[in-house]
Chains A and B, each alone.
Chain A
């Protein structure tokens, strides 16, 4: 078992990023706090598995995501936008709003399947390369690129001024499959 100093170092170095990730993933401060706590708790038990301290951040992110997926599976919660409903990349980028409201961004993320949400969050945190994201998610890098492209197209439609009201039916955007569910 590593020293308490080493564990405190892990917390100091990563707790803010981990919390932000948890928040974007789960969509609420309470869940984010729980998940961050759970992730560090699991990390303590598995610390001997962390061979390379330089990879601590990715390792912690992975533990947190697994904890999140575990919870979601337990709760049998399903996001409104399934994988197939997320549209392809539009031919040309539209004029985008100069600023994105973080709360509105969160709404868009909340409605998105985790398979798309996670790569988007990791991409925009700007700490992880495509390869890092692929490793985090146990996916081929091509799949990550494709999900990112589709995820960005979805965000573009949801965050565009015209998409403010409904977020439905915008070109290239997702259809909210299963509205009645």
Chain B
């Protein structure tokens, strides 16, 4: 091995990770033993790599980072699981409502439903402070009564928006229960779009359908699809609140 080759391998070789082939290593060693110039370079290169390496790795990891990461992980896992549960619930509820309202009066094609988009919006909406005021403003904008006809707990709000039902965009406000496993979807049905007498209670898969009192001035009917036995888990525990 000549000086050129030696210099090449000196810069390439890394003990442990990228060691040269044994015969190359032996040839390099023989060259270094007989060439003071290359041997000195080898020492300098190794010293440089050692000094830079230890400086590179000298980064103090913040105390408490691990617990922060674990907490964040738990929160994300919760969100992922809630999102999945909601996705399933939303699709099921949408299908049930479609069945409940299917009276043949509308010829529009089957409603589509994008659970991913809904779930995304659910995450955004849930973090909005002043949820009740936001829903109130939005309902008013839609020409709907400002208040839902039951004392829903807005701390449990998941999302609000519209959902296509039988080809019509139907305003809907979604709540979860305190445990996070139940879902209630409050649909606002305009008399111009749906005839209330056509709404039948859903009969499948643990979903209940409840018709709330109609708003007299607008004629808007609120229909709730919910999981569980009653609406109570979605309402304020303090009736005065």
- List residues of chain A with CB under 8 Å of any chain B CB: 1, 4, 7-8, 11-12, 15-16, 19-20, 23-24, 29, 32-33, 36-37, 40-41, 44-45, 89, 92-102, 105, 120-121, 124-126, 128-130, 145, 149, 152, 155-156, 159
B80 on the interface (CB 8 Å rule)?
Answer: yes
**Which residues of A are found within 8 Å of B11, using beta-carbon distances?**
89, 149
Alpha-carbon gap, A56 to B95, bound state (A): 41
Q: Is the interface of B mostly helix, strand, loop or mixed?
A: helix
Asked if B53 and A33 make an inter-chain contact with CB atoms under 8 angstroms apart, the answer reads no
B18–A129 CB distance below 8 A: yes
Does B33 make an interface contact (CB < 8 A)? no
- Given A19-B61, A37-B69, A98-B47, 6 more A-B residue pairs with CB atoms under 8 Å apart are A23-B59, A89-B11, A100-B51, A102-B59, A105-B55, A130-B17
- For residue A76, give the distance in angstroms from its CB to the closest CB of chain B: 26
Chain A CB within 8 A of B197 CB: no
Closest to A131 in B: B18
Contacts of A7 in B (CB 8 A): 73, 77
Q: Closest residue of chain A to B43, judged by CB?
A: A93
A interface SS class: helix
CA distance A80 to B16 in the complex (A): 34
The 19 sampled A-B contact pairs (Cβ below 8 Å) are A11-B73, A19-B59, A19-B65, A20-B59, A33-B65, A36-B69, A44-B80, A89-B11, A93-B41, A96-B44, A98-B47, A98-B51, A99-B55, A102-B56, A102-B59, A129-B18, A145-B12, A152-B48, A152-B52
The count of chain B contact residues (Cβ–Cβ below 8 Å) is 34
Residue contact A159 to B62, C-beta cutoff 8 Å: no
CB of A93 within 8 A of CB of B48, answer yes
The 10 closest A-B pairs by CB, nearest first: A124-B56, A100-B55, A20-B59, A96-B48, A93-B44, A124-B53, A102-B58, A102-B55, A100-B51, A23-B59
User: Which of B's residues lie within 8 Å of A, judged by CB?
Assistant: 11-12, 14, 16-18, 41, 44-45, 47-49, 51-59, 61-62, 65-66, 68-70, 72-74, 76-77, 80
Residues of A with C-beta under 8 A to B66: 11-12, 15
By beta carbon, the residue of chain B nearest A16 is B61
**A37 & B55 in contact (Cβ 8 Å cutoff):** no
Complex CA gap A7/B16 in Å reads 30
Name the residue on B nearest A43 (C-beta). Answer: B73
Contact between B44 and A33, CB atoms less than 8 A apart: no
Alpha-carbon distance A156/B59, docked complex (angstroms): 20
Q: How far is the CA of A97 from the CA of B70 in the complex (A)?
A: 40
CB-based contact B61/A101 at 8 Å: no
What residues of chain B lie closer than 8 Å to A94, measured between beta carbons?
Answer: 44
